[in-house]
Amino acid sequence: MNLPLFIARRYLISKKSHNAINIISGVALGGIAIGTMALIVVLSSFNGLSGLIKSLYNSFDADITISAQRGKTFQPIGAQFDSIRHLKGIRYFNEVMQDKAMLIYNDRQSGAILKGVGDDFEPMMHFDTMVHDGSFILERNGQDYGIFGMGVAHRIGVGLSNADYYSVTCYAPKRGLFATPNPADAITEKHLFPAGTFSINDDFDSHYVIVSLNFARSLFDYHDSSVTSVEIGLSKNADAGAIKSQIRKILGGGYSVKDRYEQNELIFKTLKSEKLWTFIILVFILIIATFNIVGSLSMLMLDKEKDVDTLLKMGAELSLVRKIFLYEGALITVIGACTGILLGTVICLVQIYFKIVPIGQGFIIDSYPVKLEAADYLYVLAATIIIGIVSSWYPVRAFAAQRLMKDGKQA
């Protein structure tokens, strides 16, 4: 039997001679529980928001994107790209022609980014699920159609009720230098019928229009197989890092090959740093809460001083006494941490399944997203136990030093 732990457990659950000690011990345990619960809830909320943001970008960004390091366009032809197409794990190979254009609809105009995509785009991105009004159609019966971001559609007043009768006029400058008395000769003009609108987030909704690859090449004056990028979609269990390395090895220099993280590196780094600093701030709050352990142990040691004298006279060493009160602080910490983790988990599960906290109208989801991750539990539990043990060590050390001085004087 572990005697120090047994005595510490008895001290924790037994009634003290002074009721204030029970209250302070309860406050210490409750403070740790609340701090731990807050850590679990806040970190899980950050996980949910991060997952939501990643899913939004994943709806528009491919698993791997190839672009030219120099210049705007390149031609994805030849043995190198044939080898990439046949790499194991690659399921989709979507060619993209993307550039800025001026859109005019009735009397309203606005700049936008036209993204011309191939046939693999819709199944690769499941983009039809992002289309709110209309349907995903880019070409039909010789007519060109576009899927407009909600922000772009709002600025130029595009409506689907009369989409088959009124087209959006798209203007883009022709490539090269033109010395002509008529400026219109240097501009390419094409017409596009709205087929639907999509909503992902403000970055995409306010800037992008999805069109067919042929329409984009024609508008931007490319009459060959030029693209601004190639988007690659991977199979479900494919290793993105390994395939990215293979593509880089095949292409050599001159091309930029990026995975989803690298395409949005700043956003993902910002999310990680925000979560880290939030964790640090809440840990500082938890440290303040654990100061109650110092008071609780100090008063308990004064209350049990007669018990300590009895143990020492029976032959117990001072190290055993130190262990008793260290275990006492550890028990308060562990029980408080486990209680807080349990409460935090229950709160998160209630939000996940019952969505009791709404996020407000006009957003793409109806409640705050929450996601539980095992790593958060390990970090929170480790931080709480370390803080609790350090908080327990200080009063126990002071008490042991005081006992040594007292025993020395008595001797």
One pLDDT digit (tens) per residue for the chain, 411 residues: 577 777 777 777 776 555 666 777 788 889 899 999 999 999 999 999 888 888 877 778 899 999 999 889 999 999 999 999 999 999 999 999 999 999 999 889 999 999 999 999 999 998 888 888 889 999 998 899 999 999 999 999 987 765 556 789 999 998 876 656 666 678 899 999 999 999 888 889 999 999 999 999 999 999 899 999 999 999 989 999 999 999 999 998 889 999 988 988 888 888 889 999 999 999 998 888 887 888 777 777 777 777 777 777 787 777 787 888 888 888 889 999 999 999 999 999 999 999 898 876 656 678 889 999 999 999 999 999 999 888 888 788 776 677 666 665 454
Residue 411: per-residue pLDDT: 47
pLDDT at 62: 93
Q: Write down the domain spans for the chain.
A: 3-57+267-410, 64-262
Note the pLDDT of residue 363. Answer: 65
Could you write out the three-class secondary structure of 8-66?
Answer: HHHHHHCCCCCHHHHHHHHHHHHHHHHHHHHHHHHHHHHHHHHHHHHHHHHCCCCCEEE
Minimal CA–CA distance to 259: which of 231, 237, 228, 226?
231
Phi then psi for residue 176, to 5 deg, are 90, 175
CA distance 112 to 207: 5
